[in-house]
Amino acid sequence: MILTIDIGNTSITCGLYKENTIVKRFRMPSDTDMTVQDYGQLLSENIGDMKLSGAIIASVVGELNNRIQYAILSLFGVMAVILSDKSKMPIKLALKNNAEIGADRIANGSRAYELYGKAVIVVDFGTATTFDIVNGKGEFIGGIIAPGLGTQLASLSNATEKLPSLEVAEINNYIGNCTKDAILSGVIRGTASMIDGMLQNCTEELGEKPIIISTGGYCEIISKYMTKKFDHIVPELTLDGLNSLFYLNKPIQPVYNIKR
């Protein structure tokens, strides 16, 4: 069993894979106040007696990398791979500074290009809404980073006195006739319009027709308000990418034989 871990700013998404099939998905808090023991307890509760033969971590919270890596080593005897711009991958990073790219975006671009073998744009809905763009030659040439839906809603509530705290929800009209609907229209429909416009502009700038892929928690709700639909919605794209990248970068396992 391979454990894939995507450490985001808000939460940690984990997947257990048997070969290329995800058999379990679970979440943990992304919390720098939590200890190795705290994460070990959560991992133990979710993985139970299943035997791990490897693990891989993509992280945008560097402070948590060693804690979770050590918790996995202590519990299961395997040393998790930390994905970075130096890792082996099926695409070439072609950025001004490859070290700046988030490992989750490497996983997205790698898996998307691996699946379709041509130019791809991945739209990932998380704390940020990101576009990951790989051209037809397999070069990750860049993308877009915008505030995510939850981030926008929280920002409006935190930065103002009278605007309420809201959850992401569907909205029927463009014109909101109450504060709640006005905010949801601005955030939900506004994001959909942004994505429509950016996809058109990025396609023109790319100079070739890409496959448009969506992933992340809010992809299905946003797609309802878009003029152009996504070609594919792949909910587990990031974890699937990590699973594939593990086999390109796996260390000798196990490091220790842990009796549990």
d(Cα 73, Cα 1) in Å, to the nearest integer?
Answer: 15
Three-class SS state of 133: strand
Q: If 0-12 CB within 10 Å is exposed, 13-18 middle and 19+ buried, where does residue 33 land?
A: exposed
Please give the helix or strand (H or E) that residue 5 lies within, else none: strand 2-7
d(Cα 136, Cα 203) in Å, to the nearest integer?
Answer: 12
Do the beta carbons of residue 83 and residue 51 sit within 8 Å? no
Omega before 254 within 30 of 0, i.e. cis? yes
Tokens of 232: 């594919």
Q: Where does 10-156 show beta strands of DSSP type E?
A: 11-18, 21-29, 54-59, 81-82, 92-93, 120-125, 128-134, 139-147
Do the beta carbons of residue 31 and residue 74 sit within 8 Å? no
Task: Give me the active site residues, please.
Answer: 104
Do the beta carbons of residue 219 and residue 233 sit within 8 Å? yes
